[in-house]
Chain A
Amino acid sequence: MSAPDLSVDFCGVRLRNPVLLASGTCGYGEELAPFLDLREIGGFVAKSLTLEPRVGNSPARIVETPAGMLNAIGLENVGVEAFVREKLPRLPDGVVVFASVFETAIDRYAEVCRQLDGVPRIAGIEINASCPHVKAGGIEFGQSPEGLRDLVRACRAATPGRVIVKLSPNVTSIAEMARVCEGEGADGLSLINSLQALEVDIHARRPVLHNVLGGLTGPAIRPVALRMVYQAARAVSLPICGIGGISTGADAVAFLLCGAAAVQVGTATYSRPRAGLEVRDGMAEYCAAEGVGKVTELIGALRTD
């Protein structure tokens, strides 16, 4: 049997394999160049962009927790203009790159989308509808159906290009949020973003993070992420990219079985910069061992009878 075909289509983007690198874990791409050829993974999602550069939160920004970590980086980024002008041109041809957008007000989200619209190198725009550790009037857009509806509607109107909404898990019903996005014309979903969390230093008797709250990521959240992908996939017919604690090919296969057409590898890259390739290779090994000719056969193939 020849090598398994790992290629997939995600929202009309042809990916050589289902593995993308998650926003916030691979910079603007070139940071990983010493470790791997970005053309060997399916693609990557760049650090979330805002209209103006952001300097991010004061330290401490991260803390390790059981099988995971909290982060409150504060969406430090170079701003959309510098991304388009300086970061994008440095990527070699053949690298699939998605932009990620975050802002503190809906009209600002739309403006960033407008500035990214039509930029040739960008395969699509991922809307970061939540960040548990950025103060935006205390509201995470992705936490209320109304907020999410208004956000997706505004972004949809701002660009005819591919709009993928990255969902917050800090909600009561992920299915409801998925349906809101489908109703507003999103092209796809990616889930989950980080879980809102807290760690305390009992000797200092203070929160460890300067920002107090942070986002939990890593293997600890994988079962939650998997559950939400399963629920979202049953609620909508939009393509879904699964994210949350994926660090092996086996993890990725589970997400495909639950309905994801692609996955993102995030925190795993911190301890192993080549994690994305390792996940790809693990998927290939599974397919070879199980006699799976095309990885797309696995999408939604979970048996519940």
Chain B
Amino acid sequence: MIQAGARVRAADEERIVLEVPGWPGHRPGQFAMLGLGGDARSQDPLLGRPMAVYRGDAQNLEFRFKVVGRGTRILSGLSAGATIGIVGPLGNGFPDPLAGSVLLGGGTGIASLLELAAAVPDGARVLLGGRTRDQVLGLADFQALGVDLEVATEDGSEGHRGLVTDLLEPVRDQTIYACGPTAMMRVVAEAAHKAGARCVVSLETPMGCGFGVCLGCAVGTDEGFRYVCTHGPVFDAGTIDWETLA
């Protein structure tokens, strides 16, 4: 894990691309805390914003998001050449996927799944959902992977008209990776459990530090509180006390 100054290569309402000298590499499902403010020392907003690494190589990292608040609005407005702070890679990341794995993503949760999809042996089955075609984050990148891809949009502008969870047909002993709105992940977890399939989720909570000292990102599990930033964000869905994520 490093704390570094990152140079913005590009930023807009959907993504930010950073040049991070010394980035030690990362696993699919890990994230970074992106600091706000041009001098890498913002006092207001104070805290970094946790962002799943969408994709990256030795030096360049790309993050995809939606502008939902002050922090993401600031990130979307940064100019190329600006410097922000970055702390990462953080979190446990996804376990190495087995052949036959199904990936299900909704909303900004899709951002965690691109590199995982590329890592599934013999090709992944990927289910993505959004309100409209334009809202299906990274659709073109998933199409370019050549995976078995199915899309659901609420307005029917791409693929199945309805929810991405409509597309799920869990099979016993299969592993389903889900990332998206909490309510969506709960539905997937329930369906997987009923079918005797394993469900692995990537959770999102308000975070303070992202690296395990503030203890702010607690989630209830069957073993008590665990931290989404260090024990997670990836968890076996069966261990999660979903009520604590309301």
Would you call B225 and A62 a contact (CB within 8 A)? no
In this complex, what residue of B is CB-closest to A36?
A: B3
Judge whether A2 is part of the interface by a CB distance below 8 angstroms. no
Would you call A273 and B215 a contact (CB within 8 A)? no
Q: What residues of chain B lie closer than 8 Å to A56, measured between beta carbons?
A: 215, 218, 225
Judge whether B47 is part of the interface by a CB distance below 8 angstroms. yes
Q: What residues of chain B lie closer than 8 Å to A267, measured between beta carbons?
A: 46
Judge whether B162 is part of the interface by a CB distance below 8 angstroms. no
Give 9 new A-B contacts, CB below 8 A, not counting A32-B213, A269-B209.
Answer: A34-B1, A55-B224, A56-B215, A59-B218, A60-B206, A62-B207, A267-B46, A270-B209, A273-B87
CB-based A-B contact count at 8 angstroms:
103
B2, B33, B45: which contacts A64 (Cβ < 8 A)?
Answer: B45
Q: What residues of chain B lie closer than 8 Å to A69, measured between beta carbons?
A: 46-47, 208
Cα distance, A59 to B216, chains bound together (Å): 8
Judge whether B42 is part of the interface by a CB distance below 8 angstroms. yes
Judge whether B211 is part of the interface by a CB distance below 8 angstroms. yes
Would you call A274 and B213 a contact (CB within 8 A)? no
Q: What residues of chain A lie closer than 8 Å to B87, measured between beta carbons?
A: 272-273
Q: What residues of chain B lie closer than 8 Å to A52, measured between beta carbons?
A: none
Would you call B225 and A35 a contact (CB within 8 A)? no
Would you call A59 and B244 a contact (CB within 8 A)? yes
Judge whether A25 is part of the interface by a CB distance below 8 angstroms. yes
Would you call B209 and A273 a contact (CB within 8 A)? yes
Would you call B42 and A271 a contact (CB within 8 A)? yes
Judge whether A193 is part of the interface by a CB distance below 8 angstroms. no
Cα distance, A149 to B169, chains bound together (Å): 66
Cα distance, A35 to B87, chains bound together (Å): 9
In this complex, what residue of B is CB-closest to A66?
A: B44
Instruction: Give chain B interface residues in 185-213, CB to chain A under 8 Å.
Output: 205-209, 211-213
In this complex, what residue of A is CB-closest to B207?
A: A62
Would you call A35 and B214 a contact (CB within 8 A)? no
B218, chain A: closest CB distance, angstroms:
5
What is A's interface to B at a CB cutoff of 8 Å? 24-27, 31-32, 34-35, 55-56, 58-64, 66-69, 71, 73, 76, 218-219, 247-248, 267, 269-274
With A69-B46, A271-B48 known as contacts, the answer to whether A27 contacts B3 (CB < 8 A) is no
Q: How many residues of B contact A (CB 8 A)?
A: 35
Would you call B209 and A218 a contact (CB within 8 A)? no
A280, chain B: closest CB distance, angstroms:
15
Would you call A63 and B206 a contact (CB within 8 A)? yes
Would you call B213 and A219 a contact (CB within 8 A)? no
Cα distance, A247 to B40, chains bound together (Å): 12
Cα distance, A62 to B47, chains bound together (Å): 11
Cα distance, A219 to B41, chains bound together (Å): 12
5 A-B pairs with the lowest CB-CB distances in the bound complex, closest first: A62-B216, A270-B209, A67-B44, A34-B1, A219-B43
Cα distance, A235 to B3, chains bound together (Å): 40
Q: What residues of chain A lie closer than 8 Å to B33, measured between beta carbons?
A: 271
Cα distance, A218 to B42, chains bound together (Å): 11
B108, chain A: closest CB distance, angstroms:
19
Would you call B42 and A269 a contact (CB within 8 A)? no
Would you call A59 and B3 a contact (CB within 8 A)? no
Would you call B1 and A272 a contact (CB within 8 A)? no
Would you call B48 and A31 a contact (CB within 8 A)? no
Would you call A64 and B46 a contact (CB within 8 A)? yes
Would you call B1 and A73 a contact (CB within 8 A)? no
A40, chain B: closest CB distance, angstroms:
14
Q: What residues of chain B lie closer than 8 Å to A71, measured between beta carbons?
A: 208, 214, 216
Q: What residues of chain A lie closer than 8 Å to B1, measured between beta carbons?
A: 34-35
